[in-house]
Amino acid sequence: MTRIRPRLTTAAPSLALLALTATGCAFPTDPNPAPGASSSAPAPPVTDEWNDRFAENHAYRKQASITAEQRREAGPRAEALATALRKLADSGSTTEAALRTVAARALGLRPEHVESVGDRFAPLRNALVGGGEGSVCVNGTVHATGKVQTEVVGRTADGTCIPDLGKY
């Protein structure tokens, strides 16, 4: 019976290279880099605190500051939007298009300039609608219970009235 022996002479260098690469030792860095050369150490994080990193990551949601005068001037539109949303919430039947049209009329805008996010439209529940001009927005919410709430706010950093709408 003939016994076959594997040849290790050709496999050994390949295995050694694989082992060095897998352990990260195949290409060592110079412990004394030349002046002006960058080191191989990673850059420190921008911030160390979790809350700071979270705030940086979500800065696009930040709403612009508006003045008391701007808030007061938009007050009648907020009241008109609240009235319109109450009627839709109580009517028991609506669509997203109807929501945008009614909100646009209350805000003095065209429907394509109104933002909306909704969960249920018949009856209207869990819906958010907003629109405005310049940096001032009027947003309205219909909660799961049918309760309506409106607010005058600044436009978000990503240019929307409804926070988070820019990510969709």
Q: Is the peptide bond before 35 cis (omega within 30 degrees of 0)?
A: no
Q: What is the pLDDT of residue 37?
A: 52
24, amino acid identity: G
Residue closest to 113 by CA, chosen among 133, 127, 93, 128: 133
Q: What is the pLDDT of residue 36?
A: 55
59, two tokens: 């800065």
Residue 156 main-chain phi, psi, to 5 deg? -70, 165
Please tell me what DSSP assigns to residue 160: -
Residue 6 has pLDDT above 50, yes or no: no
CA–CA separation, 55 and 84 (whole Å): 35
> Against a cut of 0.75, is the pTM above it?
no
* Residue-wise pLDDT tens digits, 36-89: 555 555 655 555 676 666 666 655 567 778 999 999 999 999 999 999 999 999
* Residue-wise pLDDT tens digits, 119-140: 788 888 999 999 999 999 999 9
Residue 89 main-chain phi, psi, to 5 deg? -65, -35
Q: What is the pLDDT of residue 167?
A: 43
Half-sphere exposure at residue 90, Cβ-oriented, CA atoms within 13 angstroms: 7
Task: Work out the percent of the chain whose per-residue pLDDT is above 90.
Answer: 42
Q: What is the pLDDT of residue 87?
A: 93
Ranges of H-type helices in the chain? 8-23, 50-57, 68-91, 96-107
Q: What is the mean pLDDT of the chain?
A: 77
Beta-strand pair 124-133/148-154: unpaired
91, amino acid identity: S
